């Protein structure tokens, strides 16, 4: 049954391609939008219709609510799927869709607003019985010092209105708090337009574990188990897997139960994710809720057989999906590696440019959600993710073997990638044993990246460069590094002896 005639995807790259594929399987027309930088992009080529948004800068294209709504009206789209990033968690965008009579494929604006502020979300979840980390306000240095003294050091400064690792600072002593608070507030204001920062107790050696929830508009809400997202660089995920290697079924069931309860408390429907810190003692604490589809959703689809994009579409159409927890089962293990146009050996600096050759892995139980093709340009204006590679296996060991095989087949030339980094990571004996936490990459930096550490000046230059690339403020990124002068991986696959990945 066709629930919508035509859906506009308010996004780009690999997630736009992924959504287009499900829409086509459902018999629904797909409308792409594109900036000047994406005129020849893969998602534009795959869509049934494409609408221009304007200049390359996201602030003038993908982030312009008025332009996206106008494109949907002009294309005759019945609904809009926001993907992730850009406007996907913007309650004003959701409201604009409602006002224009266009269905938004996602949660209600009220739920997005409830969970959009991390401080307000913590209060909501605490009231619903969801465990939260001790914390409090940090609007001034005096207030921050009082909060930190109450919860105990170390503490984490966090931006109230954002994520992705921006506006975050780990503080071990009171003497460090004032300087780090100023930096966190400045970065939060620059990244999210809001400099509000709060404090949470820092959990020592935590794992980052999240629960996928799914609900319809008739009050049926379930969870689709957990994903371990602990492998991160600068608080941004690079590898995810399910099941979590250290979580018992009883623990997952408990985390799932509180997540469903939290979703119900804000009237949530559609796909969403509750993120938790998991302590070494099995205690877990609410971090935030992502009111959208997650980058790592394929591994949940692998183990459950549920197409989350399809479910989002059907829920948005108002179908009573009749979700029941006892009907949701899991099978096997799945792993995802995020493939980025970046150079791990220069602190994961973005590496935009033209892809000269591209060969994606395939074979049984291998899925490559890519957004580019040979000859395509990876722009400097947007997030440098070019694909997400995921695999399934009946056991974790077999899934690991399959991922290592798939990575060995992956070829991208013309730009630097993190493919070789993924190879090293999956080869690491501690990762193979499932013994890792959010500090894993920093702890084994020399083995994984080829250098022991960066000084504080280099760290700040890298952070500024990443912010510049991700937030699309410049056509020519000024990274301040000579990438050509850095050491490169010996893992080479190129007919012209160019380096592949690093």
Distances in whole angstroms, Cα of residue 168 to Cα of each of 171, 236, 241 = 10, 11, 24
| Integer Cα distance of 17 and 11 in angstroms | 9
Based on the residue annotation, tell me whether 496 is a catalytic residue of this protein.
no
DSSP 8-state code for residue 132: B
Q: Is the peptide bond preceding residue 108 cis, with omega within 30 degrees of 0?
A: no
In the three-class reduction of DSSP (H, G, I as helix; E, B as strand; rest coil), residue 337 is classed as strand
Write down the residue that tokens 């919860």 correspond to: 151
Distances in whole angstroms, Cα of residue 118 to Cα of each of 68, 113, 137, 387, 482 = 27, 10, 11, 29, 38
Instruction: Check residue 390 and give left, alpha or beta (phi > 0: left; psi -120 to 50: alpha).
Output: beta
β partners of residue 329: none
In the three-class reduction of DSSP (H, G, I as helix; E, B as strand; rest coil), residue 45 is classed as helix
DSSP 431-451: HHTT---TTHHHHTHHHHHS-
| Integer Cα distance of 374 and 245 in angstroms | 36
DSSP 8-state code for residue 56: S
Distances in whole angstroms, Cα of residue 434 to Cα of each of 230, 240, 241, 247, 249 = 11, 12, 10, 11, 16
- Catalytic pick among 12, 122, 207, 292: 292
| Integer Cα distance of 300 and 395 in angstroms | 15
Q: First vs last Cα of the chain: how many Å apart?
A: 47
Distances in whole angstroms, Cα of residue 277 to Cα of each of 145, 229, 263 = 23, 10, 18
| Integer Cα distance of 431 and 433 in angstroms | 5
What size, in residues, is the chain? 502
| Integer Cα distance of 482 and 173 in angstroms | 35
Which of 221, 203, 220 is closest to 212 using CA atoms?
Answer: 221
Write down the residue that tokens 């494109």 correspond to: 71
DSSP 8-state code for residue 47: S
Q: Count each helix (H run) and each strand (E run) in the chain, helices first.
A: 17, 23
Which of 353, 345, 270, 306 is closest to 84 using CA atoms?
Answer: 270
Which of 257, 425, 243 is closest to 333 using CA atoms?
Answer: 243
Catalytic residues: 292
């Amino acid at each position: 049954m066709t629930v919508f005639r035509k859906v506009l995807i308010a996004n780009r790259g690999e997630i736009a391609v992924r959504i287009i594929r499900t829409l086509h399987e459902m018999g629904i027309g797909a409308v792409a939008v594109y900036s000047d930088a994406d005129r020849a992009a893969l998602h534009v080529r795959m869509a049934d219709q494409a609408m221009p948004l304007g200049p390359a800068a996201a602030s003038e294209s993908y982030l312009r609510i008025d332009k996206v709504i106008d494109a949907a009206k002009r294309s005759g789209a019945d609904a809009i799927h926001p993907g992730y990033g850009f406007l996907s968690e913007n309650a004003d965008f959701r409201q604009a869709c409602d006002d224009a009579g266009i269905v938004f494929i996602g949660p209600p604006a009220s739920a997005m607003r409830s969970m959009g502020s991390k401080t307000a979300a913590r209060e909501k979840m605490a009231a619903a019985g969801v465990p939260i980390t001790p914390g409090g306000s940090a609007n001034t240095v005096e207030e921050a010092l009082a909060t930190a003294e109450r919860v105990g050091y170390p503490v984490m400064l966090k931006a109230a209105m954002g994520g992705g690792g921006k506006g975050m600072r780990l503080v071990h002593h009171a003497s460090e708090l004032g300087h780090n608070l100023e930096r966190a507030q400045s970065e939060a204001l620059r990244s999210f337009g809001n400099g509000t920062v709060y404090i949470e107790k820092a959990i020592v050696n935590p794992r980052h574990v999240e629960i996928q929830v799914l609900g319809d508009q008739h009050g049926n809400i379930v969870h689709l188990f957990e994903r371990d997202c602990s492998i991160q660089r600068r608080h941004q995920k690079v590898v995810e897997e399910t099941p979590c290697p250290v979580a018992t079924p009883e623990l997952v069931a408990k985390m799932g139960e509180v997540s469903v309860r939290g979703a119900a408390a804000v009237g949530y429907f559609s796909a969403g994710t509750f993120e938790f810190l998991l302590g070494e003692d099995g205690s877990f604490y609410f971090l935030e809720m992502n009111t959208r589809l997650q980058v790592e959703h394929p591994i949940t689809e692998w183990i459950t057989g549920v197409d989350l994009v399809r479910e989002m579409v059907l829920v948005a159409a108002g179908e009573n999906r009749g979700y029941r927890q006892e009907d949701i089962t899991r099978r096997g293990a799945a792993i995802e590696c995020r493939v980025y146009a970046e150079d791990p050996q220069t602190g994961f600096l973005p590496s935009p440019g033209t892809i000269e050759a591209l060969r994606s892995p395939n074979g049984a139980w291998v899925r490559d959600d890519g957004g580019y093709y040979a000859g395509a340009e990876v722009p400097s204006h947007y997030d440098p993710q070019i694909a997400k590679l995921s695999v399934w296996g009946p056991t974790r060991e077999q899934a690991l073997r399959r991922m290592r095989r798939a990575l060995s087949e992956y070829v991208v030339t013309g730009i630097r990638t993190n493919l070789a980094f993924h190879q090293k990571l999956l080869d690491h004996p501690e990762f193979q044993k499932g013994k890792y936490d959010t500090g894993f990459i920093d702890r084994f930096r020399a083995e994984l990246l080829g250098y022991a550490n960066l000084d504080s000046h280099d760290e700040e230059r890298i952070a500024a460069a990443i912010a510049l690339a991700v937030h699309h403020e410049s056509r020519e990124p000024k990274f301040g590094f000579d990438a050509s002068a850095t050491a490169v991986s010996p893992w080479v696959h190129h007919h012209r002896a160019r380096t592949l990945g690093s």
